[in-house]
Chains A and B, each alone.
Chain A
Amino acid sequence: MIIDPVTLIVALITVSTPVLLAAIGELVVEKAGVLNLGVEGMMIMGAVCGFITAHHTGSPALAFVAGMAGAVALALVFAVLTQILMANQVASGLALTLFGLGLAALLGVGYSGLPVPAIARPFPEALRDIPGLGPIVFSHSILVYVSIALVAAVWIVLTRTRIGLVLRAVGENHDAAHALGYKVVRIRIAAIMFGGACAGLGGAFLSVVRVQNWIEGMTAGAGWIALALVVFASWKPWRVLLGAWLFGGIAALQLRLQAAEIGVPVALLDASPYLVTIIVLVLISSDRRRAALNAPAGLGRVFHASS
């Protein structure tokens, strides 16, 4: 039996969307020079807040807003710790993940298995029924299109606008940016909040659209994959999209290969995204000049105005 490429592509786009959303947010955060390892925690907060809201209000739009809000609230904790109290970013980020997982579990008690509203698809049935093209292009939930638009928007803002230039300046050399009069801390807090909103949206997509259920620990490491994806993409927005589809594609493909009873070593396929990430890391770090071009120079460093 041969694998149907149309359903494979449809599945890979769905599979990759939560990770794509979280990764594009984290990319902006890291471009501003902040390493937030709390993506997993923010995603699961987005998942639980989105699910609870979807259940009570019956409105997917409100659910997505609530998912973002929940994750932004958590991101703000991180922002206060690292930008105002100048705590270590790695430790704070890890703590944020643990805190988010616990808080989400607490908030979600009793919500497992409750119904949520069906998500309307933006394109009419007629378009969706076009053979081949219809399912691939027109069959998705609105958030899938939003996530791709977001990649384009982030790319435009980072590379073509003044705001993007300032953000990158803050990420490359916060002392220089500060000397020029830019509010380093405020810009970084804004970036962290944006990253939180994206992670929350990704989490809400997971619980409200993809699984349509709240289950404790349901992100199951998606946040960590998002972090790997940013490195894989060497901090470039379109490569995040490519990487997300590649990772999602491998996940969707390996399940279909199994269902088609084609004998491939599943463990190897499962590990391949991580192998590819390692290879990319080796490649980008082999050329020091290129690595320096990509990774924000101020990533993870604490900014103190008087230093």
Chain B
Amino acid sequence: MAQDDPFQIGFIYVGSPGDYGWTYEHDQARLAVEEHFGDRVETVFLENVPEGADAERSITQMILGGADMIFTTSFGFGEATNAVAGQFPDVYFEHATGYQRDFPNVSTYSARFYEGRAVIGHIAGHMTESNIVGYIGSYPIPEVIRGINSAYLHAREVNPDVEFRVVWAYTWFDPAVEADAAQALIDAGADVIMQHTDSTAPQTVAQEAGIISFGQASDMIQFAPAPRVASIIDNWAPYYIRRVGEAMDGTWTQGDVWEGIDTGMVVIGEMTDAIPEDVRASAAALRDAIAAGEYHPFTGPINRQDGTAWLAEGEIADDGTLAGMSFYVEGITGDIPN
């Protein structure tokens, strides 16, 4: 690479930057990288890349087009990322929410979204009157299951009668299906909607139904003060800037980063006036305790759904179990689809 050439960074998105959710935040981080490094970098991105064989082709094309570093920003890009990484040992790869690091030039990074889920679960437990919280899941993978468990545990902590109903949309991004899923949950009696999908469509349905919801991945502040009463924001910019800087300096090494509220990778968006003041205060206290490392959202005693013990009194879940979590905790009534 000639000295004057800008360092080219490619981004592979599963959705579109216009989703105002997951991909939007990754794109904001891309723009932050551009702003931070100015002319020294050049970024390219591909949107709506399907998870699977197409992803491999898209990544390869980007590299042949001159990319020196690749961020693949969805769980389902894992195999494609590693397959391409093996062929291009000089290119740096960063795979979001993944676990596969088959080659030394692949790093994975994720955020401890479950910390945010604990806070909004706490709010949901207080706010629900029907005691039914509707949850729109994308795919039954550990990241999503972990979020459901965390939200449920903290809702139940403040409201022992709370029930969670989970609908799997089998998509990260399909506004119509997400809206239908929200409606189905509302028809089933839910008065609080949580989503683990990328678009704002469920917010619109919640607004129409007069119930509450939480911003997901992005602040979704346009739906505040209600239905969106708080949000979990993914803030990727500091990590992206740090890693791009390391790659340019040649100090980049393989890593597996999993950061949460403490480093600011997970941010709780503004809690609106729709939440009673005491609940806002207790939610903020929970957030601060997690940030300070005084409290872990998965602290025993916690049983698995089938009643067997998982964590003893005071025991804290280890990252390995959390990363591969494929079971519900006790009290959740549904089944995880195979």
Residues on A close to B: CB < 8 A?
1, 3-4, 7-8, 11, 15, 18, 105, 108-109, 112-113, 206, 210-213, 215-220, 222, 251-252, 255-256, 258-261, 263, 265-267, 270
| Chain A to chain B: the 3 pairs with minimum beta-carbon distance, closest first | A255-B184, A216-B16, A259-B188
The A-contacting residues of B in range 167-188, CB under 8 angstroms, are 167-168, 170-171, 173-177, 179-181, 183-185, 187-188
Contact present for B170 and A216 (CB under 8 Å): no
* 1/0 contact string of B73-98 vs chain A (CB within 8 Å): 00000000000000000000000000
* In the complex, chain B residues whose CB is within 8 Å of the CB of A251: 177, 180
Q: Indicate if B335 sits at the interface (CB-CB under 8 A).
A: yes
Contact present for B201 and A215 (CB under 8 Å): yes
Q: Which residue of A lies closest to B337 (CB)?
A: A266
**Minimum distance in angstroms from B14 CB to a CB of chain A:** 11
Pairs A–B under 8 Å by Cβ, sample size 16:
A7-B187, A11-B180, A11-B184, A112-B18, A113-B222, A213-B175, A213-B200, A215-B18, A215-B201, A216-B19, A222-B176, A252-B184, A259-B134, A259-B165, A265-B337, A266-B337
**Minimum distance in angstroms from B29 CB to a CB of chain A:** 18
Contact present for A259 and B185 (CB under 8 Å): yes
Q: Indicate if B282 sits at the interface (CB-CB under 8 A).
A: no
Contact present for B167 and A259 (CB under 8 Å): yes
Q: Indicate if B61 sits at the interface (CB-CB under 8 A).
A: no
Instruction: Please report the total number of B residues contacting A with Cβ < 8 Å.
Output: 39
**Minimum distance in angstroms from A204 CB to a CB of chain B:** 14
Contact present for A105 and B16 (CB under 8 Å): yes
* Residue in A18, A206, A211, A266 with the greatest tally of chain B CB atoms within 10 Å: A211
What separation, in Å, do the CA atoms of A212 and B180 have in the docked complex?
13
Quick one: given A215-B175, A252-B180, are A258 and B48 in contact (CB under 8 Å)?
A: no
Contact present for B199 and A259 (CB under 8 Å): no
* In the complex, chain A residues whose CB is within 8 Å of the CB of B188: 1, 3, 256, 259-260
Contact present for A220 and B175 (CB under 8 Å): yes
Contact present for B18 and A216 (CB under 8 Å): yes
* In the complex, chain A residues whose CB is within 8 Å of the CB of B334: 258, 261
Quick one: given A255-B167, A255-B184, A267-B170, are A113 and B200 in contact (CB under 8 Å)?
A: yes
Contact present for A4 and B16 (CB under 8 Å): no
What separation, in Å, do the CA atoms of A212 and B48 have in the docked complex?
21
Contact present for A211 and B18 (CB under 8 Å): no
* In the complex, chain B residues whose CB is within 8 Å of the CB of A252: 180, 184
**Minimum distance in angstroms from B172 CB to a CB of chain A:** 11
**Minimum distance in angstroms from B199 CB to a CB of chain A:** 5
* In the complex, chain A residues whose CB is within 8 Å of the CB of B134: 259
**Minimum distance in angstroms from A269 CB to a CB of chain B:** 11
Q: Indicate if B166 sits at the interface (CB-CB under 8 A).
A: yes
What separation, in Å, do the CA atoms of A258 and B220 have in the docked complex?
26
Q: Indicate if B152 sits at the interface (CB-CB under 8 A).
A: no
**Minimum distance in angstroms from B231 CB to a CB of chain A:** 13
**Minimum distance in angstroms from B185 CB to a CB of chain A:** 5
Contact present for B180 and A255 (CB under 8 Å): yes
CB within 8 A of A218: which of B171, B175, B183? B175
Contact present for A215 and B200 (CB under 8 Å): yes
**Minimum distance in angstroms from B139 CB to a CB of chain A:** 11
